[in-house]
Amino acid sequence: MTKNFIPQNEAPASPKETLPTMYDLPSENPEEPGLPDEFHDLQPELLSRTFRCQYYPSEEVFIGTDLNLYYDVRHPQWYKRPDWFLVVGVPRLYEGTDIRSSYVIWQEGVNPFIIVELLSPTTAKDDLGDNLEQEPQASILAGNSDNIKLQDINKTSNSSSDPTHQTIPSKWEVYEQRLRVPYYIVFSRYTNQIRFFKLIGAVYQEQGILAEPPQILIPELDIGVGLWWGEYAGITRNWLRWCDGSGNWLLTDTEQERAAKEQAQQQVKQIVVNLLKSGMDVEQVANITGVDREEIISCSDNQL
């Protein structure tokens, strides 16, 4: 007996076509615990402003800060909200046209390459999983520390708003097992401690950290991130910021402008000095360079 097969005219639609898009999913949950404090605003901002990678132009890099990251096609409403994450090899804008209100894995097709979580008492267990109870392989302590023992914290916050009885995985589980993010960095402002995890095989393994200054290298991007003591937004403390492959701190746009201005001023001063040494008087140098006469006299006095 011959079976009659019904021909399949169309292949099954992909998740990108059938599941909710960025426009369909909520971008925030006002009732979610653990709303950012000022540090959670400033630290991701500094990471974003100092990140540059020679291998990817800015239009092929997306940086998310405190943005919903939807990760499970079986549970489209489930999300995590990393403090800072980097995706390379995707358009800067959603489908090249729009600012993202969330990052939806089944729509984007590219997982984050680096995630940074800023440890806080209410999220420590969620961020570190079983590693919360373990001594870090490389402990970086600098400056003053608050007397907070994260090991004593047993509570965890849930980063998903989906009201389901199913067990929602922790951030650690999602980053390691679902998204398989190659690099995961956790920083505590309470202890100024960095913990650095690299995905090796199927699991995260904690990595050592360069001691002076404390830095982590990402060889695939030829960049690093480390603990920098300095002033940002009027606050002097330990901050995470990016460095190049040689360990030199990368500048923010404001710092670049200031450095360029100072360099230009030094070049003009050198021109003034050279003209004075050639025998020109103050009036002649002022006419040629446009530099104020008092400043020329000061340059001349400094050379005596």
Would the pTM of this model clear 0.85, i.e. be above it?
Answer: no
- DSSP count for the chain of H helices, then E strands: 8, 12
Alpha helices in the chain (DSSP H): 15-18, 38-50, 105-108, 124-128, 171-173, 253-277, 282-289, 293-303
Residue found under tokens 């995260």: 204
**Vertex 226: Cα angle to 221 and 227 (nearest 5):** 165
The pLDDT score that the predictor gives to residue 30 is 62
Query: For domain 256-303, which architecture applies?
Result: Orthogonal Bundle (1.10)
For the chain (304 residues), the mean pLDDT of every run of 10, in chain order, is 57 83 80 72 96 94 96 95 96 94 96 95 83 58 35 38 68 96 95 94 91 86 95 95 93 84 79 79 77 76 61
Locate 217 and state its tokens.
């290298």
Domain ranges in the chain?
Answer: 15-250, 256-303
Q: Please provide residue 108's backbone torsions phi and psi, each rounded to the nearest 5 degrees.
A: -85, -40
- The vertex-145 CA angle with 142 and 146, nearest 5°, equals 165
pLDDT at site 281: 78
| d(C-alpha 273, C-alpha 43), whole Å | 43
